[in-house]
Amino acid sequence: MPQGKFDELLDKGERLFVKGHLTEALEVFEKAIALDTTNTDVWIWKGMVLERLGKYKEALEAIEKIIMLDPTDASAWQSRGSVLNELGRDKDALEAFKMATMLAPTDARTWWWKGWALHNLGKYEDALESYEKALLLDPKYAGAWGGKGRALLCLERYEEALEAYSQAIELDPKYAVEWLNKGTALYRLERYEEALEAYSQAIKLDPKYAGAWSAKGLALSRLGKHEEALEAYSQAIELDPKYANAWEGKGRVLSWLERYEEALEAYSQAIKLDPDAADLKENRDRILSKLGRPKMES
């Protein structure tokens, strides 16, 4: 096997990957694999490219090749879990992350991934333990503080969640998601003005963040600022027309403003996007009653 040619291809593929030329990089890595099928580095790169391209099943095949070549490669197990997570195979993902933590127990990121998988399975107490393990290993790991906050929020421990999110923001103040999450904790604590400030900060950091606009609408509506809330919900919908929660919020505010025809339109759109939501249908029927029209069957 011409080692020089293999190294040249590997280096070229890496450079293409860094530049974002993913399809070309994949072709180069395939050529390198043809020269050496046992080199784990090239399989790692191939898996990374395929994952970035959203080809998760093919990425999984590449990662499993790495594990076959080296079953003790913790990063490969971590990657396997990440791809399985994208494929919606949460239980399998958890098993992969468990293996990663066994092989690399001092790697904070593997504990974060395990926490993420546990959270997806609704095991919030266990997820909290994993995030706390990550923080013991790396107290300045903003992502682990954020994960801890999400677990605490789901456990309805809102004050503690707020503390965790505040710590995440202190470590990474430009992370819009954590500002949104902090706002949610404040909202649950009925601190609506502060929640609004947090949501506004998330939007300042990421003006195209539909979730933050929708949350801002919710806080404004709680504060009785219905016209401003309507603007926020409309902005969320403009950014993400398939965002059912934003359509619901818009319908609710329009109903309060007694703009029932528009409210009906908004609720109908929300129901199209989330047809199993019984509360949306109840709200729609309430509007129909206001308009003196019969309820719909579905």
Ordered DSSP codes for 163-177: HHHHHHHHH-TT-HH
Rounded to 10 degrees, the C-alpha dihedral 121/123/128/129 comes to -110
How far is Cα 246 from Cα 230, in angstroms, rounded to an integer? Answer: 10
pLDDT tens-digit readout, 176-190: 999 999 999 999 999
Is a pLDDT exceeding 80 seen at residue 26? yes
How far is Cα 170 from Cα 36, in angstroms, rounded to an integer? Answer: 46
pLDDT tens-digit readout, 280-289: 999 999 999 9
- For the chain, the first-to-last Cα distance in angstroms comes to 66
At residue 296 the predicted structure's pLDDT band, cuts being 50, 70 and 90, is confident
At residue 298 the predicted structure's pLDDT band, cuts being 50, 70 and 90, is low
How far is Cα 124 from Cα 17, in angstroms, rounded to an integer? Answer: 36
Q: Domain limits of the chain?
A: 241-298
Contact 213, 250 (CB under 8 A): no
Is a pLDDT exceeding 90 seen at residue 295? no
> Residue 202 burial by CB count (10 A; 0-12/13-18/19+): exposed, middle or buried?
buried
Around 43, how many Cα atoms within 13 Å sit in the side-chain half-sphere? Answer: 21
Q: Which CATH class is domain 241-298?
A: mainly alpha
Contact 115, 134 (CB under 8 A): yes
Is a pLDDT exceeding 60 seen at residue 1? no
pLDDT tens-digit readout, 32-87: 999 999 999 999 999 999 999 999 999 999 999 999 999 999 999 999 999 999 99
Q: For the chain, what percent of residues have pLDDT higher than 90? A: 94
The Cα angle at residue 76 between residues 74 and 77, in degrees rounded to 5: 65
How far is Cα 121 from Cα 118, in angstroms, rounded to an integer? Answer: 5
Q: Quick one: tokens of 81?
A: 């879990």
Residue 209: per-residue pLDDT: 98
Residue 159: per-residue pLDDT: 98
At residue 2 the predicted structure's pLDDT band, cuts being 50, 70 and 90, is low
Q: Please state, as a whole number, how many other Cβ atoms lie within 10 Å of the Cβ of residue 116.
A: 24
How far is Cα 234 from Cα 33, in angstroms, rounded to an integer? Answer: 50
Residue 132: per-residue pLDDT: 98
* Helical H segments across the chain, by residue range: 3-18, 22-35, 40-52, 56-69, 74-86, 90-103, 108-120, 124-137, 142-154, 158-171, 176-188, 192-205, 210-222, 226-239, 244-256, 260-273, 278-290
Q: Quick one: tokens of 223?
A: 């504060």
pLDDT tens-digit readout, 217-263: 999 999 999 999 999 999 999 999 999 999 999 999 999 999 999 99
At residue 200 the predicted structure's pLDDT band, cuts being 50, 70 and 90, is very high
How far is Cα 180 from Cα 216, in angstroms, rounded to an integer? Answer: 9
Average pLDDT estimate for 10-30: 95
The whole-chain average pLDDT of the chain stands at 95
Residue 24: per-residue pLDDT: 96
pTM for the model: 0.88
Q: State the DSSP H helix or E strand holding residue 140, giving kind and residue range, or none if neither.
A: none
At residue 109 the predicted structure's pLDDT band, cuts being 50, 70 and 90, is very high
At residue 21 the predicted structure's pLDDT band, cuts being 50, 70 and 90, is very high
